[in-house]
C-alpha cells in the first residue's frame, strides 16, 4: 500500500477509558466514550544544534522530551463509566457515595446513588487514566494506547438548543502504537444526555438558601476548572524521554453566564462585592425502577461577581444582554469548606 492512497473515516473510530492504580502503568480500557472530537497526540521534538561549523548551515540535532497531550469534547452522560472516571480524575479528591434521598424502598440494584466529588490536594486510589483509541475502521484503523493520562482542564458548557457539553485538556506520560484493538469489549449502552431544557442556575446568598424554584434566566453558562499540571522539564529526568511525575498545581476555576439585561441584580452585587453561592443543575430522564432522574449538580458556595457590565446597545432591533463572570473561591468559614463540588446521580454503586 502506498503512503496516503486510502481514506479512513473518523466515525469508525472509538475512544475507550480505563483507570490506573499506578500512574503510567497501562490498565484495561473498556469504558467507551462517544466523542464529538478527540485530538490526543504524541510528539517527539528535536533541537537543532546551532554550532559554528565553518558553514552557513547546521548539521546536527539532538532529541528532546516526548510530549503527549490533547483535547476531547463530548456530551456528558451520567450513566457512562467514562464520564465518572473523567470527573473523578479532574477533581482529584475523595468521592463519597450514598443512596439518593427519597429513593423507593426495594429498588435494590436499581437504586439511585448520589456520588459527591470534592476538589482534593492529591490523587486517590486511581491516580491516572489510560486511553485506548482506534483511528479509523477495524481493518485499516490504527490503535494507540495512552498511559498516565490526567485531566489538566475540564470545562462544561450549556446553551439554548443543545445538551450539556464537556471539553477536556489532557496530558499523559506516554503513548504507544499497538495492535490491541478492544472494540469487541466495548458496548454502546442506551444512555441519555442532559438537555438544556432541564437545566438551571440558582444564585443566592448562601448554599443553604439555594432552591430549585428560584433561578436566573440565562441563555448560556460555562463552568470548569484547571489543575495546572506541571508537565515541563521539572517533571522529567535524565535517563528518560517521558514524564516521570505529573503533579497538579493550584486549581483555578471559571464560571460565567450570559443572560438578558432586565434588572440591576448582577451589576449591584458586583459593585457591592457581595458574596454569593451558585448551584448548577442538569437533569436527564427518570431511571429504571427508581423515582430519581439522572443528574449532575455542581455547587459553588463562595463566589463573587467579577464582571457584569452594562449591556452594549448594538442596534435598534437587538435584545439587551450581559455577560456575568464570577470569581470562585474556597468557602473559608468552615473546616470542611470547598470551592467546587459535583454531585453525580446515576445507578452505579460506587466509584471506589
The per-residue pLDDT of the chain, averaged, comes to: 93
Which of the residue ranges 61-75, 157-171, 187-201, 266-280 would you say has the lowest mean pLDDT? 187-201
CA atoms lying within 13 Å on the CB side of residue 148 = 22
Question: What's residue 203's pLDDT?
Answer: 96
Question: Nearest CA to 166 among 92, 76, 91?
Answer: 76
Between residues 164 and 63, the one the model is more confident about: 164
pLDDT at 174 over 80: yes
Centroid of chain to Cα 128: 14
**Three-state secondary structure readout of the chain:** CCCCCCCCCHHHCEEEEEEECCCCCCCCCCEECCCCEECCEEEEEEEECCCCCCCCCCCCEEEEEEEEEEEEEEECCCCCHHHHHHHHHHHEEEEEEEECCCCCCCCHHHCCEEEEEEECCCCCCCCEEEEEEEECCCCCCEEEEEEEEEEEEEEEEEECCCECEEEEEEEECEEEEECCCCHHHCCCCCCCCCEHHHEEEEEECCHHHCCCCCCECEEEEEEEEECCCCCCHHHCCCCCCCCCCCCCCCCEEEEEEEEECCCCHHHHHHHHCCEEEEEEEEEEEECCCCCCEEEEEEEEEEEEEEECCCCCCCCCCCCCEEEEEEEECCCCCCCCCCCCEEEEEECCCCCC
What is the per-residue pLDDT for 136?
A: 94
Residue 18's pLDDT is: 97
Over residues 142-151, mean pLDDT:
97
**Per-residue model confidence (pLDDT) at position 347:** 92
Instruction: Answer yes or no: is pLDDT of 285 > 80.
Output: yes
**Lowest-confidence segment of 21-30, 203-212, 302-311 by average pLDDT:** 203-212
pLDDT at 226: 97
Kindly state the cell numbers that stand for 129: 487514566
Q: Could you read off the pLDDT of 5-57 as tens digits, one per residue?
A: 778 899 999 999 999 999 999 999 999 999 999 999 999 888 999 999 999 99
Q: What is the mean pLDDT of residues 240-267?
A: 94
Amino acid at each position: 500500500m502506498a503512503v496516503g492512497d486510502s481514506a479512513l473515516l473518523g466515525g469508525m473510530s472509538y475512544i475507550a477509558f480505563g483507570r490506573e492504580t499506578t500512574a503510567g502503568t497501562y490498565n484495561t480500557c473498556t469504558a467507551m466514550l462517544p466523542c464529538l472530537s478527540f485530538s490526543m497526540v504524541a510528539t517527539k521534538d528535536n533541537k537543532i544544534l546551532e554550532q559554528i561549523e565553518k558553514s552557513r548551515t547546521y548539521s546536527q540535532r539532538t532529541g528532546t522530551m516526548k510530549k503527549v497531550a490533547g483535547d476531547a469534547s463530548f456530551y456528558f452522560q451520567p450513566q457512562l463509566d467514562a464520564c465518572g472516571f473523567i470527573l473523578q480524575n479532574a477533581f482529584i479528591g475523595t468521592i463519597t457515595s450514598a443512596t439518593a434521598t427519597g429513593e423507593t424502598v426495594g429498588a435494590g440494584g436499581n437504586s439511585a446513588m448520589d456520588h459527591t466529588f470534592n476538589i482534593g490536594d492529591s490523587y486517590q486510589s486511581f491516580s491516572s487514566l489510560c486511553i485506548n483509541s482506534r483511528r479509523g475502521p477495524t481493518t485499516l484503523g490504527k490503535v494507540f494506547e495512552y498511559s498516565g493520562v490526567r485531566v489538566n482542564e475540564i470545562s462544561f458548557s450549556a446553551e439554548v438548543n443543545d445538551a450539556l457539553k464537556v471539553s477536556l485538556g489532557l496530558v499523559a506520560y506516554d503513548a504507544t502504537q499497538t495492535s490491541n484493538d478492544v472494540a469487541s469489549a466495548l458496548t454502546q449502552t442506551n444512555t441519555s444526555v442532559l438537555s438544556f431544557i432541564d437545566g438551571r442556575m440558582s444564585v443566592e446568598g448562601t448554599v443553604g438558601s439555594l432552591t430549585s424554584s428560584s433561578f436566573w434566566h440565562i441563555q448560556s453558562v460555562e463552568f470548569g476548572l484547571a489543575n495546572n499540571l506541571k508537565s515541563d522539564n521539572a517533571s522529567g529526568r535524565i535517563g528518560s524521554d517521558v514524564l516521570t511525575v505529573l503533579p497538579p498545581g493550584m486549581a483555578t476555576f471559571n464560571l460565567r453566564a450570559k443572560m438578558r439585561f432586565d434588572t440591576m441584580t448582577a451589576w449591584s452585587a458586583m459593585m457591592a462585592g457581595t458574596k454569593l453561592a451558585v448551584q448548577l443543575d442538569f437533569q436527564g430522564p427518570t431511571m429504571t425502577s427508581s423515582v430519581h432522574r439522572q443528574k449532575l449538580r455542581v455547587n459553588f458556595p463562595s463566589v463573587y461577581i467579577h464582571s457584569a457590565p452594562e449591556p452594549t446597545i448594538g442596534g435598534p432591533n437587538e435584545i439587551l444582554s450581559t455577560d456575568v463572570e464570577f470569581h470562585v473561591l474556597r468557602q473559608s468559614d468552615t473546616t470542611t469548606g470547598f470551592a467546587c463540588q459535583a454531585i453525580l446521580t446515576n445507578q452505579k454503586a460506587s466509584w471506589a
